[in-house]
Amino acid sequence: MTFDEIRAWLVEANPEKLERLWLSADSLRHDTVGDEVYLRGLVEISNICRRNCLYCGIRAGNPKPQRYRMSAEEMVETARLAKKLGYGTVVLQSGEDGSVSAEEIAEIIRQIKRKTNLAVTLSLGERAEEDYITWFKAGANRYLLRFETSNETLYRAIHPPHAQGRYRSGSRIELLKTLRNIGYEIGSGVMAGIPGQTWDDLARDIALFAELDLDMIGCGPFLPHPDTPLGGVRSQESGVEEQVILDKHLPFKVIALARLVCPAANIPTTTAIATLDPVHGRLLGLSRGANVVMPNLTPACYRKMYEIYPHKAASGETPEETHELAVRQILELGRTPGQGAGTSPRFLKNATQI
Ligand code: SAH
């Protein structure tokens, strides 16, 4: 798919034509990754963050959230719950918590592997290469790091560098290559509708998914958080010509196009999509190219504190309820909850060639 074709789809408004886009993404999803929907248990292990990303509610500069880090025991217990519920993977996500050492995380990874043998996915932000290596050696399998936007000027504007670190925060695109070389399955993605993002930018983002040959692609709408610098900026008023405007179709266009450019990738229907449309969002994502759901298994007492954007959807009161809701929705669509780790076909193919 060419850049021009991607861009044309992004601005397409004709419902009949869009129906064609949804159908081709859904049929390609069926042919490449099948009808199983993989469940990834998301555990938000800490909201402590040293960064000041302009869009994110748990940025260091926001004094409002009460800060927490789950204990090692709580993390391992939650992984055991994921195992009990039938998951093949657990995703440990956090703010960029500089106060936790690489070795502490490595020990937790080892315990989770020993006690559950689940595939372990990390989403802990930007760290030194040696930390990523330590975690991979401890048994971590996958790393999620969204590059957020491929427009370097916009990226720098919304993503101030880490001030006192002993490494310079590099471009996330370079870090993704590093992570792949270490041996991780790599996942990335963007937010759609960031103030200052143009249609060309978003089309380039999607073309870059293909260039990076991603194993996993997670995308969602930008949702303003009132306690952040971007919280009060309406995209329509960014003053940028060709500003991406978020409407009800946009998040699904990004999912469908991600499927078309990376046919075998694992693509979640994200919580941000479900937050934008709590009734239909998750199901529409699954019908328009996605094959993964990431139910939030974070213990209830921490959930509210991990507020990267307000009113996060698709959660029951407890992890068990959240899980049941996801399974019900998958079955409603006539699909089946996936069994096992759900490793990306691209990764498996490459692994067998070595
Ligand atoms: N500290 C980790 C995890 C961040 S949370 C990291 O930086 O990689 C995971 C994702 O949530 C981010 O990558 C971002 O794309 C998304 N996110 C953060 N704030 C958001 C907002 N206001 N609206 C929509 N998505 C947001």
Ligand 1 near 185 CB (within 6 A): no
For the cut 70, the answer to whether the pLDDT of residue 8 exceeds it is yes
What is the model's pTM? Answer: 0.95
Q: How far is the CA of 307 from the centre of ligand 1 (A)?
A: 10
Q: DSSP character for 227?
A: T
Ligand 1 near 95 CB (within 6 A): yes
From the alpha carbon of 190, which atom of ligand 1 is closest? Answer: 15
Q: What angle do CA 48, 40, 282 make, to 5 degrees?
A: 95
Separation in Å, CA 44 to CA 41, 123, 321: 10, 9, 17
Mean pLDDT of the chain: 93
| Confidence band of 339 (pLDDT split at 50, 70, 90) | confident
Ligand 1 near 56 CB (within 6 A): yes
- State which of 171, 308, 311, 312 you would mutate to test the pocket of ligand 1, scoring each by most atoms of that ligand within 8 A of its C-beta: 308
For the cut 60, the answer to whether the pLDDT of residue 163 exceeds it is yes
In this prediction, residue 252 carries a pLDDT of 98
Cα–Cα distance measured from residue 192 to residue 219, given in angstroms and rounded to the nearest whole number = 7
From the alpha carbon of 144, which atom of ligand 1 is closest? Answer: 8
Cα–Cα distance measured from residue 140 to residue 176, given in angstroms and rounded to the nearest whole number = 15
Q: How far is the CA of 132 from the centre of ligand 1 (A)?
A: 19
For the cut 60, the answer to whether the pLDDT of residue 166 exceeds it is no
In this prediction, residue 196 carries a pLDDT of 95
Per the model's pLDDT, the better-predicted residue between 338 and 9 turns out to be 9
Section 107-135 average pLDDT: 97
DSSP string, 108-162: HHHHHHHHH--EEEEE-----HHHHHHHHHHT--EEE---B-S-HHHHHHHSPPP
187-199 pLDDT tens trace: 999 999 999 999 9
From the alpha carbon of 223, which atom of ligand 1 is closest? Answer: 23
For the cut 60, the answer to whether the pLDDT of residue 237 exceeds it is yes
Cα–Cα distance measured from residue 307 to residue 160, given in angstroms and rounded to the nearest whole number = 20
Distance of CA 293 to the CA centre of its chain: 10
| Confidence band of 184 (pLDDT split at 50, 70, 90) | very high
Q: How far is the CA of 308 from the centre of ligand 1 (A)?
A: 6
Q: How far is the CA of 189 from the centre of ligand 1 (A)?
A: 10
Over its C-alpha atoms, the chain yields an Rg (Å, rounded) of: 19
Ramachandran area for residue 339 (φ above 0: left; ψ -120 to 50: alpha; else beta): beta
